[in-house]
Amino acid sequence: MALSAMTDDELQTLVEDGTADFALGENEAALAKLTRAAEAAPESFEAWHALSEVLFSLRRLDPALAAGERAHALRPDDLFINTTLSRIWMERGDKARAEHFGAQAKILGWKDQLKNPAAPGGIA
């Protein structure tokens, strides 16, 4: 399958398979699938975020940061990518940047609670 011919469903399956591989301890297979997904669909937030998380879990901080920054550029108002970047920066020893992204995640969480007051964790 050519990279440019990947459908949205195929991309989603590849990301899900890579995530499942990681959960099963198949780290290199996970990285191969997630890297392929991110390269095939550079506009895919899900592919970049999943790749960042797996790389971070494997303590590969530089590539984790690069993938996280790609995801953040695609969706800067996502609570989870801000949390991911906060964790990466903290692990790299940059407390100021970690706190910046952590604060962004908190603000986004509060906004979500205000939009969805009946949701779990929302305002009653």
pLDDT of residue 111: 85
Q: Give CATH for domain 8-115.
A: 1.25.40.10
What average pLDDT is seen over the chain?
91
Residue 2 pLDDT greater than 50, yes or no: no
Q: Is 10 helix (H, G, I), strand (E, B) or coil?
A: helix
Q: Report the 10 Å Cβ neighbour count for 108.
A: 18
Cα 71 to Cα 42, 48, 81, distances in angstroms: 9, 5, 7
- Report how far residue 105's alpha carbon sits from residue 111's, in angstroms, rounded to the nearest whole number: 10
Sign, CA torsion 59/53/111/104 = positive
- Report how far residue 107's alpha carbon sits from residue 48's, in angstroms, rounded to the nearest whole number: 22
pLDDT of residue 3: 46
Kindly report which listed range (14-18, 31-35, 115-119) carries the lowest average pLDDT score: 115-119
Using one digit for the tens of pLDDT, what is the confidence trace for 17-73? 999 999 999 999 999 999 999 999 999 999 999 999 999 999 999 999 999 999 999
Q: For residue 5, name the pLDDT band (cuts at 50, 70, 90).
A: low
Nearest to 41 by CA among 14, 64, 72: 14
